[in-house]
Structure 1
Amino acid sequence: MQRYKVLIVDDEPEARELLQHYMEHLPDCELVGCCKNGVEALQIINKHQIDLLFLDIQMPGVSGVELAKSIPASVKIIFTTAHREYAVEGFELMAVDYLLKPISLDRFLKAAYRFIGNQPQESESNLDLPITDKREFIFVRADRKMIKVALSEIKYVESIQDYLKIHTANKSLVTRETMAQLQQQLPEREFLRCHRSFLVNLRHIDSYTHEQITIERKSIPISRSYKEQILEKLQSV
């Protein structure tokens, strides 16, 4: 079995750690190293035959785009960035894919499979990736960094205009991630969408009625569009 050599390049330690963790789910790939800037990446590329780069676009010094223009065309690139506006420039360089941070495991695997050439045939919303349900934490962008959050500590998530407020056992985090993006990272068997503005962790529910869920004295509404699905799930526990 061919093993592809992969290099991660990102100036954020949390982002490198997240991608390194995701790499454990790719048996066809070998992680050669993790670099915090373009200079380090070039040194490794010159020493090893790298097949794929997970490359952050916005980095101090040599940017991801500048690095992409200076390496052999045989090295394929999956760009990663927190800024959607860089997508066009990334694809102009014939990138394999473009991942917008925060990156979910499902989205990471789709990009990797696209490179490997074994992209699953299922639709994006129905990919069978049981591995997601085994995760113990996610990374959330807040306070200008990627913060590790244990899934077991998330009580509920609240949408407030353009932001999400993630309520955990010890603190609350505010992020600009959308509810749909966050929900994609969470195991469906544990996290329930009960309202357009609320997502709850099943294990933290103290009580419920047909109209609301209670988590530590916080009353969370159940909307009509989610009621049948939520009640069926709760009654089957």
Structure 2
Amino acid sequence: MSNIKCIIVDDEPVAREILESHLAKIENVEILGSCKNAMEAFQIISSQEVDLIFLDINMPEISGLSLARSINKNIKIIFTTAYREYAVDGFDLQAVDYLLKPISFERLLQGVNKYLNETVHVPQEPLQKISSESAETFFVRSDRKMVKIDCDEILYIESMADYIRIFLKTKNVVTRETISNIEAKLPKNEFLRVHRSYIVAQNAIDSFTAEYVEIGKKQIPISRSYKNEVLKWLED
């Protein structure tokens, strides 16, 4: 399979960094450029063969929708935006996908595979991560900015109503998110849901009983609904 040649267009540096980080983990994806506005994107499109654009919608001067309307229809679009209300306009332009920020790696990979299935009219094996050995990261919104979370640094995660607190080795990060959404971003087999309000890093567990796991001086309860699964894993 030849590489998917793509560009990123977004006026927010952090948003571009997130996409660059995610795309670097996917096999057969080649980033031709990362652009902060439509004019930079036009320069790449006019000089190189581009297959796919990850395109923000709400940008100054020339919006993502205007850019999408003006380019060759053979170039496919995956819109990336924080605004759900633009979805209808995006799909009217026959976008491959519409990703809402903050964008998880898994959701981005799904979009790239959707592009592959729509453009290559024969069955394809889904693209995968380049290496499962590399450290997993994702971003969450905290204090009006996107903060990178390195999964290797997570000790445990606690849900607090509409917010969660991620306890890292060196700091804590609070974000408005559900614990289930965060759980979906974590590498499988490395984290353990022990309670509806707690996820723990398996490697961080210092000791346990039938009632709780202990990480440092923190005792984290094991709820009845998770007890059998948790104890089975811990006692194996």
Would you call these one fold, judging by a TM-score over 0.5? yes
1:14-70 per-position Cα deviation (integer Å, ceiling 9, x unaligned): 322222232234443321100112221122212222110011222233222222222
Match of 1:163? 163
Q: Letter of the 1:23 partner, please give it.
A: L
C-alpha change, 1:131 and 1:230, in structure 2 (3 Å) is farther
Q: Letter of the 1:36 partner, please give it.
A: K
- Taking structure 2 as the reference length, the TM-score comes to 0.87
Q: Letter of the 2:19 partner, please give it.
A: L
Match of 2:187? 187
Deviates more, 1:62-71 or 1:193-202: 62-71
Q: Is the 8 A contact 2:8 2:55 kept in 1?
A: yes
In structure 1, the gaps of 5 or more residues are: 122-126
Percent identity at matched positions? 50
Match of 2:5? 5
Cα deviation, residue 120, structure 1: 5.4
Match of 1:21? 21
Note the 1:35-50 alignment, pairs <5 A.
Answer: 35-50=35-50
Q: Is the 8 A contact 1:206 1:214 kept in 2?
A: yes
Match of 1:84? 84
- Taking structure 1 as the reference length, the TM-score comes to 0.86
Note the 1:1-237 alignment, pairs <5 A.
Answer: 1-117=1-117, 131=131, 134-236=134-236
Q: Is the 8 A contact 2:26 2:130 kept in 1?
A: no
RMSD over aligned CA atoms reads 2.4
Cα deviation, residue 136, structure 1: 3.8
Q: Is the 8 A contact 1:155 1:167 kept in 2?
A: yes
Q: Letter of the 1:69 partner, please give it.
A: R
Partner of 1:157, secondary structure, is: strand
Q: Is the 8 A contact 2:192 2:200 kept in 1?
A: yes
Count of equivalent residues = 231
C-alpha change, 1:85 and 1:158, in structure 2 (3 Å) is farther
Partner of 1:112, secondary structure, is: helix
